Amino acid sequence: MEMPEAAKGAVVLIVEDKALVRMSAADILQEAGFHVVESRDGMEALALLEIRDDVAAMFTDLAMPNMNGVDLAKIVSERWPQVGVVLCSGALPEGIPQKLPNHVRFLAKPYTPRKLVQAIEAVLPETGGPVTIKSQPTLRPGREFGAGGIAHPLPEPEE
């Protein structure tokens, strides 16, 4: 999958409490050329955003402990408006779309690798050039090259 020049190397923060789902999304995004930072919940994600200035996009689940994805998306949109946000869920409860900031994109589960990459690309900041990384992302051991291997991408739907 060819990635636009501006997206190559962009840092994406994945916020997901289920380890296998988080690792699968990380594998997909790393294989597409993104740098990935992982978080287990909204509180941890906010702590990471406080100390990092290189996050270009955030991919978050809706239902998580400590803070749901809608509340997290609102805080990130207010405090870090340059960070694009993709909210993901298997079901979108009634009324949630009205609670989301205008620029937050929704991605339904299950998603294909292509749909995930497209959703992230759609929320990346328009920089007019390549996104630069100010510091090398810190990845946990074994995550450097999309390790995790348990999760398998879903087949592309027939259109």
Q: Which two tokens stand for residue 105?
A: 């994109």
What's CA 79's distance to the chain center, in Å? 17
CA distance 73 to 83: 10
pLDDT value of residue 92 = 67
- pTM to 2 decimals? 0.73
Alpha helices in 95-144 (DSSP H): 96-99, 113-123
More confident call, 123 vs 137: 123
Q: How confident is the model at residue 60 (pLDDT cuts 50, 70, 90)?
A: very high
What CATH code is assigned to 5-123? 3.40.50.2300
CA distance 148 to 24: 8
The pLDDT tens digits for 117-136 are 999 999 997 644 344 444 44
